[in-house]
Structure 1
């Protein structure tokens, strides 16, 4: 998708028109949001964001340990009423309510772009 000015403008228009739509956002959509935090107010409730660790850092800032990361991510979900599906060797899903789900199956290969599970 990219992050050029035209793409950002189109993304903003999309968000304004899709206020009641369920969304799953990944990659450059996450990067655009992290560079334009005012856009979080345009996200429909329970939008799902699927960051890998570096994208997550762009969203919530740095963390000192895993507990700190989880607490910052929980605060982010509550503030923006969104769902975070944090990708990695294992997947952590956080809901705005504070509930968390941890999937310990899979491996680091699943965190590689374009991976599919068969």
Structure 2
């Protein structure tokens, strides 16, 4: 799962995940693999531990023209994707599954990532 790739349609917002590179199209457009960037000051992923879950939030606009489309948690054995919509709060929970990567996709600025390390202090 560490080779998971994300492809997002710029027309309809469809999200395609693949366990490696591929060639995908949607709405008549060949989709490009999303290249995640490290979070910047406008796209900070906030991670809190609540019980045996990660609670993920972001301070980001959720307007019809500018919003976080989805948040994903990828570990060595699984991929979980939560689809978000404009005017919805960014509040997502994932069951802790170990070290992994959180991804957030902004419909205007692209994909961002944050490493999640499981250590003794945050084992649920």
TM-score by length of 1: 0.31
Structure with higher strand content: 2
Higher relative contact order at CA 8 Å, sep ≥6: structure 1 or structure 2?
A: 2
